[in-house]
Amino acid sequence: MSGKKVVHNFYKQLFFNYHKVFFGSLIFKGQKLGAFKSFLKIKQGLKLKEVFDPYVVFLVSMMKVTPDIVFLSVKLGGASYGVPMPITQKKRIVFSVKWVLRLLKDKHQRTVSSIVDLLISNIYLQGISIDKKRSIYKLGSQNRHLLKFFK
């Protein structure tokens, strides 16, 4: 088996995982048809705004938002601190999709055009989801000293 085939299969599987979690998150109150239509509209919007394949745009965008750490809570002296811990690949995918959809929900802009704009801004390392990732890493670097409590 050649190296290119292995890499291709890895990214194909990775895209399938992102797609499955993202599509599952779009399903509201059991309306699969509405979620499917929304995903097709998102794909069309990506195709119109970018010259690349919409699936590649979606995958690259989600990979740039994907976190490497998550915070576990530890109590010290009556205060609760977040300790940065590495997470598995499946949880990374779930957290990145949650961030993107939660940020859209907080802005009350859960429309197809706002999702397309957010995905495209992620590619160029701009936007609120990238700011969220940066703030997580900043907090993680500040709380590194608390890792000794989990060894």
- Going from N- to C-terminal start, the domains of the chain cover 3-150
- On the question of pLDDT at 144 being above 80, the answer is no
pLDDT tens digits for range 82-106:
778 788 888 888 877 777 777 666 6
- The owner of tokens 């907080």 is 106
Q: What is the mean pLDDT of residues 138-148?
A: 75
Which pLDDT belongs to residue 46? 83
CATH class of segment(s) 3-150: mainly alpha
12/63 Cα distance (integer angstroms) = 13
Which pLDDT belongs to residue 52? 80
Which pLDDT belongs to residue 107? 58
Mean pLDDT score across all residues of the chain? 76
Which pLDDT belongs to residue 30? 59
Fill in the amino acid letter for 67: P
In sequence order, the 6+-apart residues with CB closer than 8 A to the CB of 128 are 103, 107, 118
Structure tokens at 134: 């940066």
Phi, psi of 80 (to 5 degrees): -105, 130
List alpha helices for the chain, DSSP H: 3-26, 32-49, 54-65, 89-106, 112-123, 128-142
Phi, psi of 78 (to 5 degrees): 85, -10
Q: Are 114 and 107 in contact (CB under 8 A)?
A: yes
What is the reported pTM? Answer: 0.69
- On the question of pLDDT at 123 being above 80, the answer is yes
Which pLDDT belongs to residue 116? 81
Which pLDDT belongs to residue 106? 62
pLDDT tens digits for range 8-60:
677 777 777 777 777 777 665 556 666 777 778 888 888 888 888 787 888 88
